Every structure is written in structure tokens, then in C-alpha cells.
């Protein structure tokens, strides 16, 4: 018998069967549970978790994939920047194929734009040091998990005296989106699977105001199959017992207070702002703008980016899919005009998008 | 939707997934169509008066030229040797075309060629013709290598992507994704140390041993770009069969699994350069497995699943925790997650 690795311990089939039985016992009525993290979406599909759940439980993929909730206006802005001669665009790979209104970063790269895939914001700072004659623009997309690292990159660039590095901040924060979801039309959610990585930074208590306002079962969950099954079981019991709570099923990584140091770095560089989410519209205080004292590192202030408002692609249901009002297979484009190879909407292009996950793992 | 001739080639067209498949079937195949090409196998097998020959070609553009466990030189030899081996052929002769960028250190070129020579000795093939072009700085990246190879197909051997039958067992000759991770961690200057080495290796001896031990084997494939997931899909489509693989049976090195988890990669879609898949009739599966495991490149070989009659063209995975999901073809390059 091979040694069981740390990860394998959280994929144990016998324990999984026990957790599934717990869920089956608790699921005494239809329950609609939403996860709001792209990594959860992927993990649920990759491990075939939907397949194990009783029919009473419906899992919805909310606005948890950062690429999917990035407004087309911002995508068009990214692309416009990539078309400038002096600019190197540094981005996480997921953004490459996202279609803007007319083209994508991938297509622009094929036409000659200088677009580089990086694995961290700090890599983009390195790129700026290597290319002093160009301006490196990092595309800042992501939730509280990623934002502290982007803030740290800006602080590093300032300390190095770099004048050719800046960030297009389309960063977002999770708790205001939960409130917006509860007010979105046609949305019915009985409980939330809260994002593990985001919670490592913001801590369980960051959801307290939301929980107290709406009184909905909320469980912070990790990403291994047993983490997710345990969290679903917790939610199902809370719903069945009519005793909603805010609980933490990912204690090995998440504390009540999160990571204060990371939040402090984030707050030093970014300030809350209203921002547009694809599918949800403008949500108050849900975005992060670069503070005035770091204006030199703000791509939107450095460059005049002219983008025009364009309608969403015709027939695309990404909006209602992101709020859980519809499922990917409700969309007439799904699997026909819209596939991962030739995506129409953002939920199909990002590997963490719910449409892409449905298409790849569960047609 | 964009007019097909107005779009430019993107890197996705070369990533061994769906777009690459489309490029082959929609652009190349209609232009050059003939029954031999239409087999769409790793190499073509054709009749001559003296028997059947296999012919294959492959081009290597890996960056960096040297990576843990190998170099572009070994890759260029093993890649073509393996394409021939996956036709059931005994590889004999290679050609080699070099495209060298002005400024490449002579020492690097020498090292690459010495390693290519060593790989040829190991595989038992000879270089019998070649060509060298030097292009100006920037017109190529350091060194590109094309190799082509000819092999002899022993009488009675018929291998193709269309030979899988319901009930066959699916075998994989060892751990997945070693090459992909070795090159990636080297190229991207990752801020972590790993000792993952490329698995580049000649598979001709192992392939012949499998065919001798399990004469009913009709499908061999080396899952290179696009990985095991894409290769299985190709076989499932060409053979019009379904496949079920067991997650718990898939061999993955723990370090590779850890790096994949960290970066959001699925080892099923990362490249291998010294692994083979085979479909063997159930009663010969254990013999085929023993033949693989007897090879120095197949010690961790495993039976990973079964060919089925359900849902032709579809590959399904039974997950470790008892769930079920589709294993699709790779779409474009695998990219890291961002949250």
C-alpha cells in the first residue's frame, strides 16, 4: 500500500460515502445551495460530487469566477491597452481567450500585441524591470485572495522606483456580491458555500453582517472532496433543522479574523469603490480602486482608455447563470454556438466558469 | 462569428487539443486527402514489395532547450521513434533538419546533438540524412528540430486508433504529466524547487514486448501534447467506443500532483514524452501489463480503465470518491487558475 499523502486523505472514498449518507438523511426537502468561488465550481465537477448528491439538492454556481464577473467594459479596456505600441500586458492566463465586444487578448497577441502570461503580480514587476523602455500593465482581476499580492507588487514597484509598471484594477470583494445576489430577481438560494481561499484573507467574521441581515445558512468550505461534502452536509442540516448559522468547515486554513497583515497591505493600496459586475450590474462598495497616493501605478489614470458601451452578446444567459436564476443548459447557445473552443460568454471561456465546467464534465 | 480566413493562427492551434484537431481535419486533410493520411495516426503505414513500412515526422520547438531529464535532442529522436513504435513498427532510420538561430552557442548545439546521438543508440536507430539552415537572430528561437523516421512493420501487426473494442482494458505505462511539469517549472522560473524530470524515452522495445505478450492489442498511442485525456478521446472517437477510467488507478507522481494542484493543472492534459496507452483484450491485459512493467520505462504501468459500448466517443471517469464525470478533449492550452 502506498503512503497516503496529505491530499489523498481528503479524498478517502469510505469517509466520502459516510458524508454522502449524512447529506441524504438531512436533505428532507428541495435545497438550493450556491457556491461563489470558481475553485469550488471546478472541484465539484472534477470530483463528480453532483453525481453523489440526492436529487433534493441543487448546486448553483454563483459569481465566483473572477474572469466571468469582469464587465465587458473592462475586458474591452484590457484589449485597448494591449493595442498600444509601448505596452506589455501581463495577465493571468484565464483572461486570454475572454471575448471582448470585438476581439480577445489571444487574437490581439496573434496580430502582434505583446501579451505575456504571468503566474503572479510580482512576475509582472520583474517584467517591468527587464523592459525599462516599455510600460508593463498588469491586469488586476480577482477577489480578496489575489488582491493582497497585487497590492504587494505595487508597493514593491514603488520601493524600486519603477515608473514603467501599473495595474488595471478590476478587483472585487465577495461580501457585497452576496447581498446583491439576495436581491437579484428570480434568485432562490437556501444556503451559501462560502469561498475558502477568500476567507483565508477576510476571515469568517467578515460574513457576519451579511448573515445577520439575511439569516441564511452559510458555511466556509475547503476544496477537497471531503471538505465540500462536509460543508454541504452542514448546510443541509441547518436548513432541515431551521437553524441557520455561520460556520467554518475549513478550520485548517481559515480563522475568524482571517489574515490581518494581508488585509492591511490591501487597504494601504486599494480603497473600496462601486463597480460593475457582469450579470449583477453595479454593486456599491464591491470594487477596489487604487488610492490617489498610488495614482502613478493606476493604468486607468495613466492611459486614456476609450471604450464604448456594447450590448451583451445576443442570447447569452451568462447574467442569469451567474445569479443562479438559470443553469447553463437553459441557454440556447450552450454547446452549440458557445463552446470552450469558440466561447460567446465569459462563463464558457474561463476554466472556472460554470458553463465551461458543465460543458467539460457533465454534458 | 469571425470569418475563418480572417482570423490569425493563435497558440491554441498548436496545443494538441480541439483547435489543433480542427486545423488538421478542416484545413490539412481536405487539401491533402488520401486514404493513408486519413488514418490520422501518429505515423502512416504503407505497403511495399518488400513488406509494410511506417513513416512519420515531428517537429520540436521546446523552450528551454535543456530541461530536467532531457533536451530537445533526445526529444526529437524519441518523439519520432515513438510515433513509429505506436504504429507497431521497428524504427530503423531517421532524418534530421535543424533550424538554428544566429548566435546559438556552438557548445549548446554540440550538447543537443550529442544527446540526440545517445538517444538514437538507445533506440537502435541511425541518422541517415539531414539538413541545416541558419536564420537571422529573431527569425527563430535558438533551435528548432524536425525529424522524420522510417520503420518496418512486422507481418501480422495491425495497429490503429480505430481498433479498440468494448471489453478491452486500457493500460497506461506509467505516471502522467512528468514532461509537461518538468518543462513548465523550468521555463516559468517558478519560485519553488522541484525534482520532477521529463520522462522522455524510446518506447519501441516496450511496444514490441507488449505486442509479443498480448497479440490481440490493436491500439497503441503515446499521449504527448494534450495528454492522456486527449489521446483517450481520440481513440474513443476513432474506434466509436466509450471508455471508463478510474481516477484511483491513474499513476501520478506525488510531486507532479502537488504542483498541478497548486497551479490548477489537470495531469490528464499535460504532455508525456515516454509513456504509452494501449487497449488490450481483457484476457490478455495482465500479460500486456507484465510486459510494460518489465521495461525500465514502464515500472509504474497500470490498468486504468475499460472500453465500453456505451456513449461512443465519450470518455468518463469514475472519481476516487465514487462520482462520475466526463473527460473531454483539451481545449487550447491549459492555463493556471486565478482565484
Q: Which of A113, A130, A33, A76 is nearest to A324 (CA)?
A: A33
Of residues B1, B335, B339, nearest to A37 (C-beta): B339
Cα(A230)–Cα(A237) distance, integer angstroms: 11
Grouping H, G, I as helix, E, B as strand and the rest as coil, residue A54 is coil
Q: Which tens digits make up the pLDDT trace of A258-275?
A: 999 999 999 999 999 999
ipTM over 0.90: no
Compute φ and ψ for B214, nearest 5 degrees.
-135, 80
Say whether residue B286 is in contact with chain A using an 8 A CB cutoff: no
Q: For position B59, which CATH number holds? A: 3.30.1330.10
Residue at B60 is within a domain: yes
Residue of A145, A351, A354 for testing the chain B interface, max B β-carbons within 10 Å: A351
Residue at B30 is within a domain: no
Q: How many domains does chain B have?
A: 2
Run of H or E residues at B75: helix B72-85
Q: For position B293, which CATH number holds? A: 3.90.650.10
Last residue of a domain, one of B113, B128, B153: B153
pLDDT band at A341 (very low <50, low <70, confident <90, very high): confident
Q: Residue A326 is placed in which grid cell?
A: 438559470
A345, pLDDT greater than 90: no
- State the span(s) of chain A assigned CATH 3.40.50.11740: 67-173+258-302
| CATH number at A13-60+188-248 | 3.40.50.11750
Q: Does the beta-carbon distance from B1 to A342 stay under 8 Å?
A: yes
B192, pLDDT greater than 80: no
pLDDT band at A159 (very low <50, low <70, confident <90, very high): very high
- State the span(s) of chain A assigned CATH 3.40.50.11750: 13-60+188-248
Q: Which tens digits make up the pLDDT trace of B210-269?
A: 999 999 999 999 999 889 999 999 999 999 999 999 999 999 999 999 888 888 789 999
Q: Which tens digits make up the pLDDT trace of A185-203?
A: 888 999 999 999 999 999 9
pLDDT over 70, % of chain B: 93
**Shared-domain flag, residues B112 and B184:** no
- Domain span at residue B123? 45-153
B336, pLDDT greater than 60: no
In a 13 Å sphere around the CA of B80, the CA atoms on its Cβ side amount to 33
Q: Does the beta-carbon distance from A49 to B321 stay under 8 Å?
A: yes
Cα(B101)–Cα(B139) distance, integer angstroms: 7
Do B334 and B266 contact (CB within 8 A), yes or no?
yes
**Shared-domain flag, residues B55 and B186:** no
Residue at B36 is within a domain: no
Cα(B141)–Cα(A165) distance, integer angstroms: 27
Residue at B158 is within a domain: no
In a 13 Å sphere around the CA of B150, the CA atoms on its Cβ side amount to 12
Q: Which tens digits make up the pLDDT trace of A199-242?
A: 999 999 999 999 999 999 999 999 999 999 999 999 999 999 99
Residue at B333 is within a domain: no
SS3 content of chain B, % helix, strand, coil (to 5): 35, 25, 40
Q: Which tens digits make up the pLDDT trace of A4-20?
A: 667 778 889 999 999 99
**Shared-domain flag, residues B148 and B187:** no
Chain A positions touching B11 (Cβ under 8 A) are 106, 109-110
Run of H or E residues at B71: strand B70-71
B3, pLDDT greater than 80: no
Last residue of a domain, one of B153, B182, B217: B153
Mean pLDDT value across residues B169-191: 87
Cα(B218)–Cα(B160) distance, integer angstroms: 6
**Shared-domain flag, residues B192 and B292:** yes
Q: Which tens digits make up the pLDDT trace of B308-332?
A: 999 999 999 999 999 999 998 876 5
∠ CA B68-B73-B76, rounded to 5°? 110
Residue at B13 is within a domain: no
Strands of B174-285 (E only): list them.
Answer: 219-221, 242-246, 277-280
Predicted local distance difference test score (pLDDT) of residue A10: 87
Q: Does the beta-carbon distance from B339 to A65 stay under 8 Å?
A: yes
Chain B positions touching A146 (Cβ under 8 A) are 338-339
B188, pLDDT greater than 70: no
- Strand B90-101 with B143-153, pairing: antiparallel
pLDDT band at B6 (very low <50, low <70, confident <90, very high): low
**Shared-domain flag, residues B98 and B189:** no
Residue at B39 is within a domain: no
Cα(B315)–Cα(B327) distance, integer angstroms: 5
Q: Which residue has the higher pLDDT, A21 or B183?
A: A21
Q: Which tens digits make up the pLDDT trace of A103-156?
A: 889 889 988 999 999 989 999 999 999 999 999 999 999 999 999 999 999 999
Contacts of B288 by beta carbon, 8 Å cutoff, 6+ apart: B169, B171, B210, B213, B214, B217, B278, B280
pLDDT band at B1 (very low <50, low <70, confident <90, very high): very low
Residue at B40 is within a domain: no
**Shared-domain flag, residues B148 and B262:** no
Give the closest-approach CA distance of A65 to chain B in angstroms.
Answer: 7
Mean pLDDT value across residues B68-80: 95
Chain A positions touching B320 (Cβ under 8 A) are 11, 13, 47, 225
Predicted local distance difference test score (pLDDT) of residue B4: 59
Residue of B nearest to A8 (CA): B320
Last residue of a domain, one of B100, B129, B153: B153
Q: Does the beta-carbon distance from B322 to A352 stay under 8 Å?
A: no
pTM (2 d.p.): 0.87
**Shared-domain flag, residues B73 and B183:** no
| CATH number at A67-173+258-302 | 3.40.50.11740
In a 13 Å sphere around the CA of B223, the CA atoms on its Cβ side amount to 32
Amino acid at each position: 500500500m502506498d503512503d497516503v499523502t496529505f491530499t489523498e486523505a481528503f479524498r478517502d472514498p469510505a469517509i466520502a460515502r459516510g458524508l454522502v449518507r449524512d447529506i441524504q438523511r438531512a436533505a428532507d426537502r428541495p435545497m438550493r445551495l450556491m457556491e461563489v468561488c470558481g475553485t469550488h465550481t471546478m472541484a465539484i465537477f472534477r470530483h463528480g460530487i453532483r453525481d453523489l448528491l440526492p436529487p433534493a439538492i441543487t448546486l448553483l454556481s454563483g459569481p465566483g469566477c473572477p474572469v466571468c464577473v469582469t464587465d465587458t467594459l473592462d475586458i474591452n479596456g484590457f484589449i485597448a491597452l494591449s493595442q498600444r505600441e509601448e505596452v506589455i500586458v501581463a495577465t493571468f492566463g484565464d483572461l486570454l481567450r475572454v471575448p471582448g465586444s470585438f476581439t480577445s487578448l489571444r487574437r490581439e497577441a496573434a496580430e502582434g500585441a505583446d501579451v505575456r502570461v504571468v503566474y503572479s503580480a510580482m512576475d509582472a514587476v520583474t517584467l517591468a524591470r527587464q523592459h525599462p523602455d516599455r510600460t508593463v500593465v498588469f491586469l488586476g482581476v480577482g477577489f480578496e485572495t489575489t488582491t493582497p499580492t497585487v497590492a504587494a507588487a505595487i508597493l514593491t514597484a514603488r520601493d524600486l522606483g519603477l515608473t514603467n509598471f501599473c495595474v488595471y484594477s478590476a478587483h472585487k470583494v465577495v461580501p457585497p456580491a452576496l447581498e446583491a445576489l439576495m436581491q437579484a430577481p428570480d434568485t432562490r438560494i437556501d444556503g451559501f458555500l462560502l469561498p475558502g481561499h477568500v476567507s483565508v484573507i477576510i476571515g469568517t467574521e467578515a460574513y457576519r453582517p451579511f448573515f445577520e441581515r439575511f439569516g441564511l445558512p452559510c458555511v466556509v468550505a475547503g476544496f477537497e472532496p471531503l471538505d465540500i461534502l462536509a460543508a454541504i452536509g452542514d448546510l443541509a442540516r441547518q436548513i432541515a433543522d431551521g437553524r441557520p448559522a455561520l460556520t467554518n468547515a475549513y478550520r485548517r486554513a481559515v480563522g475568524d479574523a482571517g489574515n490581518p497583515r494581508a488585509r492591511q497591505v490591501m487597504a494601504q493600496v486599494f480603497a473600496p469603490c462601486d463597480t460593475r459586475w457582469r450579470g449583477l450590474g453595479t454593486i456599491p462598495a464591491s470594487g477596489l480602486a487604487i488610492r490617489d497616493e498610488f495614482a502613478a501605478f493606476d493604468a486607468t489614470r495613466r492611459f486614456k482608455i476609450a471604450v464604448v458601451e456594447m450590448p451583451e452578446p445576443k442570447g447569452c444567459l451568462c447574467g442569469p447563470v451567474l445569479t443562479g436564476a438559470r443553469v447553463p443548459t437553459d441557454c440556447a447557445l450552450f454547446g452549440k454556438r458557445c463552446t470552450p473552443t469558440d466561447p460567446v460568454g465569459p462563463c464558457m471561456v474561463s476554466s472556472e466558469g460554470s458553463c465551461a465546467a458543465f460543458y467539460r464534465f457533465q454534458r | 462569428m469571425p470569418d475563418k480566413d480572417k482570423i490569425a493562427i493563435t497558440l491554441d492551434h498548436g496545443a494538441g487539443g480541439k483547435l489543433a484537431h480542427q486545423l488538421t481535419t478542416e484545413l490539412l486533410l481536405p487539401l491533402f486527402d488520401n486514404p493513408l493520411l486519413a488514418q490520422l495516426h501518429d505515423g502512416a503505414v504503407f505497403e511495399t514489395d518488400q513488406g509494410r513500412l511506417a513513416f512519420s515526422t515531428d517537429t520540436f520547438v521546446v523552450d528551454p532547450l535543456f530541461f530536467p531529464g532531457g533536451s530537445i535532442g533526445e526529444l526529437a529522436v524519441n518523439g519520432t521513434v515513438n510515433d513509429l513504435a505506436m504504429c507497431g513498427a521497428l524504427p530503423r532510420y531517421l532524418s534530421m533538419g535543424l533550424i538554428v538561430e544566429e548566435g546559438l552557442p556552438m557548445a549548446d548545439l554540440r550538447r543537443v546533438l550529442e544527446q540526440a546521438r545517445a538517444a538514437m543508440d538507445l533506440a537502435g536507430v541511425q541518422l541517415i540524412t539531414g539538413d541545416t539552415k541558419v536564420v537571422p537572430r529573431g527569425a527563430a528561437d535558438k533551435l528548432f528540430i524536425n525529424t522524420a523516421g522510417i520503420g518496418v512493420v512486422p507481418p501480422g501487426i495491425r495497429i490503429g486508433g480505430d481498433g479498440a473494442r468494448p471489453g478491452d482494458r486500457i493500460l497506461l505505462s506509467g505516471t502522467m504529466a512528468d514532461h509537461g511539469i518538468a518543462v513548465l517549472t523550468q521555463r516559468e522560473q517558478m519560485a519553488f524547487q522541484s525534482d520532477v524530470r521529463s520522462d522522455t524515452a524510446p518506447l519501441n522495445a516496450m511496444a514490441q514486448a507488449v505486442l509479443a505478450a498480448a497479440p490481440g492489442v490493436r491500439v497503441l498511442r503515446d499521449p504527448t501534447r494534450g495528454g492522456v485525456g486527449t489521446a483517450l478521446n481520440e481513440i474513443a472517437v476513432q474506434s466509436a467506443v466509450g471508455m471508463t477510467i478510474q481516477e484511483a488507478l491513474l499513476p501520478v507522481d506525488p510531486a507532479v500532483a502537488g504542483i498541478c494542484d497548486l497551479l490548477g493543472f489537470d495531469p490528464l492534459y499535460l504532455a508525456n514524452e515516454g509513456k504509452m496507452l494501449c487497449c488490450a483484450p481483457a484476457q490478455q491485459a495482465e500479460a500486456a501489463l507484465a510486459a510494460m512493467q518489465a521495461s525500465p520505462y514502464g515500472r509504474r504501468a497500470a490498468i486504468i480503465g475499460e472500453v465500453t459500448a456505451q456513449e461512443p466517443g465519450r470518455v468518463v471517469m469514475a472519481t476516487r470518491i465514487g462520482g462520475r464525470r466526463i473527460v473531454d478533449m483539451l481545449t487550447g492550452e491549459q492555463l493556471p487558475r486565478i482565484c
